[in-house]
Amino acid sequence: MAFANYLVDLIRRITPSFGSQLSHITTYTRELPINLDRMYENAIDWEHLPFLHSSTFSEIDVLESGDWGWKANAFLTPKSTFNSMLLELRLDRNKNRWITKTLAGFGKGTEIWTHAIPLGPNKIKVIVDFYVPKLPAFLKAKYAGQYNALYAQLYDEDLWMMARRQAQLNKLDKAKTTAPETTKVLGKLGELKAQLPFTFEFNHQTYRLVELADTLVAHTLSCPHMLGPLQDADVQGGILVCPWHGYQFDLKTRKCISGQRCKLAPAPLIRIDTDKMEVIALINNR
């Protein structure tokens, strides 16, 4: 199927054209319960594509990036020489829009124009227009169906990330305005060990208790990069991997070991009351 799509696209690209106007294929619209800040963050966040959207993108290699957007070489899934693309996304905040262009490779000449219209404090409407040059009329319905299905899936996946990030930011704001807990009894040692990994709340933040080399250790469930979720990340050799962008962290040092300049936020210190055999979380001011 991938090769067949490549052949169709190749024929489209090499077909002589007597005009430069793009053909409008379809429009996808959707209301989302998020604000413009989260949407703009998502648009220029090229790193999440092969992780959160792994069924669509297998690999991305950024060439340029910034507040303006990004330019990158990318491969669809499964990776193949037939589906390599050179993509460019440019964000225009003044016009509440971003334009994604395929500059080379599979889909060359395609432009996707996305407008985000605020409807309320935490509600927007996205209007996505798809343009494909030199597309035969009999293929328009096929392309329209594929684009609408693809963007429904992509926004389903993105919405989880954007909503989670907003919820974590709200938690951080709440934590700043309330007096912090200094200690919290998590439970009896034997009972907790039977429940590991154990999730608990402390000062309006969520942490997970795990055992490393016979020692109980707590770690934050928010990635320092964009507050991605770490609650379902397996601990392999004391290493966590964020599902949004693939950042890897050493739980003992909290350092990022995949090359990015960040580290996990401090988690509560864990102590065991040997008299009561209780596990206690203590505030960590480091």
Q: What is the pLDDT of residues 93-123, one digit of tens each?
A: 999 999 999 999 999 999 999 999 999 989 9
CATH number assigned to the domain comprising residue 100: 3.30.530.20
CATH number assigned to the domain comprising residue 228: 2.102.10.10
Average pLDDT estimate for 17-23: 62
Model confidence pLDDT, tens digit, residues 181-240: 899 999 999 999 999 999 999 988 899 999 998 899 999 999 999 999 998 888 888 999
Average pLDDT estimate for 169-186: 85
- Res 213: pLDDT: 87
Distances (CA, A) of 213 to 25, 45, 100, 135, 187: 58, 36, 48, 60, 20
Distances (CA, A) of 205 to 73, 141, 164, 268, 285: 37, 48, 13, 10, 15
What DSSP assignment string belongs to 256-279? Answer: B-SS-S-BPPP--EEEEETTTTEE
Average pLDDT estimate for 122-151: 93
- Res 145: pLDDT: 96
> Among 155, 174, 193, which residue terminates a domain?
174
- Res 49: pLDDT: 96
Is residue 82 within 8 A of residue 2, CB to CB? The reply is yes
Query: Based on the domain organization, do 105 and 170 belong to the same domain?
Result: yes
Model confidence pLDDT, tens digit, residues 64-96: 999 999 999 999 999 998 999 999 999 999 999
Query: Based on the domain organization, do 148 and 206 belong to the same domain?
Result: no
Average pLDDT over the chain reads 91
- Res 1: pLDDT: 44
- Res 221: pLDDT: 93
Query: Based on the domain organization, do 98 and 61 belong to the same domain?
Result: yes
- Res 6: pLDDT: 61
Please say if the pLDDT value at position 24 is more than 50.
Answer: yes
Domain with 51, as residue range(s), is: 2-174
Look at the alpha carbons of 151, 157, 161, 162 in this order and tell me if their dihedral is positive or negative. positive
Please say if the pLDDT value at position 41 is more than 80.
Answer: yes
Query: Based on the domain organization, do 73 and 189 belong to the same domain?
Result: no
Please say if the pLDDT value at position 22 is more than 70.
Answer: yes
Nearest CA to 210 among 171, 267, 284, 263?
A: 267
* Alpha-carbon gap, residue 215 to 36, rounded angstroms: 43
- Res 178: pLDDT: 77
Query: Based on the domain organization, do 32 and 67 belong to the same domain?
Result: yes
Give the 3-state secondary structure of residue 284.
Answer: coil
- Band of residue 175 on the pLDDT scale cut at 50, 70, 90: confident
45 versus 205: which is more confidently predicted? 45
Query: Based on the domain organization, do 168 and 194 belong to the same domain?
Result: no
* Alpha-carbon gap, residue 277 to 76, rounded angstroms: 53
- Band of residue 272 on the pLDDT scale cut at 50, 70, 90: very high
Please say if the pLDDT value at position 18 is more than 90.
Answer: no
The two beta strands, 111-120 and 123-132, are antiparallel
Average pLDDT estimate for 160-166: 92
The two beta strands, 123-132 and 23-32, are antiparallel
Nearest CA to 26 among 182, 120, 166, 149?
A: 149
- Res 54: pLDDT: 95
Q: Angle at Cα 127 formed by Cα 121 and Cα 131, nearest 5°?
A: 155
Query: Based on the domain organization, do 137 and 226 belong to the same domain?
Result: no
- Band of residue 4 on the pLDDT scale cut at 50, 70, 90: low
* Alpha-carbon gap, residue 57 to 107, rounded angstroms: 14
> Among 130, 145, 174, which residue terminates a domain?
174
Query: Based on the domain organization, do 21 and 109 belong to the same domain?
Result: yes
148 versus 233: which is more confidently predicted? 148
Query: Based on the domain organization, do 208 and 82 belong to the same domain?
Result: no
Query: Based on the domain organization, do 20 and 56 belong to the same domain?
Result: yes
Look at the alpha carbons of 108, 140, 54, 10 in this order and tell me if their dihedral is positive or negative. negative
Average pLDDT estimate for 236-261: 93
Query: Based on the domain organization, do 113 and 39 belong to the same domain?
Result: yes
Number of structural domains in the chain: 2
Query: Based on the domain organization, do 155 and 38 belong to the same domain?
Result: yes
Structure tokens at 13: 């690209």
Q: How many CA atoms lie within 13 A of 146 on its CB side?
A: 10
- Rounded percentage of the chain residues whose pLDDT exceeds 70: 94
Structure tokens at 37: 């800040």
> Among 114, 147, 174, which residue terminates a domain?
174
